Amino acid sequence: MTTNPGKFNSYPPFFRPNQTVDHVEHGSKSESDSCSDLNSDSVPVIDFQLMKPENLSKICKEWGMFRLVNHGIPVDLLRQLHAYANKLFSLDFESKQALLTSPMLYFWGSPALTMSGKVQQTGPCSQNFNWLEGLNVPLSKMTQLEYQDPVLESFRSLLEEYGNHQTRLAKAIFTTMAQDLNFPPPKAASYLSPPTGILRVYRYLQCPMAEQRWGINAHTDSSVLSIIYQDQVGGLQVYKNDKWLDVKPIQDTLIVNLGDMMQAISNDKYVSVKHRVKVNKNKERISMGYFVFPHENAVIESSKYKPFTYADFRAEKELDLKNVGIKIGLPRFRITEENEL
């Protein structure tokens, strides 16, 4: 691989050439992990303008993921967001750490953040790093903010506009799902809270050991739903029918996937889809994810789970990441025969 030494100044030191990456074993790929269907992207497509409960129902039950077209987000906005993200991620690592603090928080090595905004250290091994860096952007805190740095302020303004579009889409998609599931209005209103919406802007780093490392390991999202905009590099995969499928990048489309909260509030009728991100030996990849959650203290009631709030779920998740190194998630709350005795 041909490298430009100056380029890697923007990488966290751990990921620069000739650093300690050879010693990181956690998250390395096994032969079975690498098996996937590379020739087919059969992710179902939903036209936002024609979306109806009957269109979504089967997809949410069988896939938990779909490609959204005709979504109404201006193409120019998507292009500008990508360009500004590229510009910010290309800054020296030290500059990013100094410039990108609260509330637009810079992180690297793990997508798991604690409530205090710090990267969650996972398990007994602190060097369990994913090949990524990113920005965590709580939308509710961005509207009244103004940065002195012109590049950062332009990016903030674009993110705010993009966040408004994401909120619009999330509310419409959830309303359609709530109709399919016959939720009474008060229940539906508590299960999606737009003020909880966050944006995550990721750069997946160029990795010389792409066959052995992950951008993000296999996981499910904790959200009600997530909306992903990805560039043309590719790397997102979804687990379906005991096989990993590539989710091919198709320009100006979005990927919507359901998270753990949606599976729980649907009483397991819908699925929280398992997915992961591969890294590339020769290219970086930028993607933007929008994640939205229930009201903090809304009680999720289901015949499959003990009653819990999203605050309960998040607290258990943080403990599991700290103590065992992985998110256990919904099984922590699932009703078993033991619980019923």
Domains of the chain: 5-340 (2.60.120.330)
pLDDT tier for residue 336 given thresholds of 50, 70 and 90: confident
pLDDT surpassing 90 at residue 194:
yes
Poorest-pLDDT segment among 110-119, 178-187, 277-286: 110-119
Q: What percent of the chain has pLDDT over 70?
A: 85
- Whether the predicted pLDDT of 124 surpasses 60: no
Q: Provide the pLDDT confidence category of residue 119 given band limits of 50, 70 and 90.
A: low
Q: In this structure, are residues 218 and 276 in contact, taking their beta carbons and an 8 Å threshold?
A: yes
Residue 70, pLDDT above cutoff 80:
yes
Q: How confident is the model at residue 338 (pLDDT cuts 50, 70, 90)?
A: low
- What SS3 class is residue 1? coil
Instruction: Spell out the residues 6+ positions from residue 218 whose beta carbon is closer than 8 angstroms to its own.
Output: 33, 239, 274, 275, 276
pLDDT at 39 over 70: no
- pLDDT of 20 > 50? The answer is no
- How confident is the model at residue 144, as a pLDDT? 79
As a residue count, the chain comes to 341
Please tell me whether the overall predicted TM-score, pTM, comes out greater than 0.75 for this model.
Answer: yes
Segments of 29-127 assigned E as strands: 36-37, 45-47, 65-69, 105-108
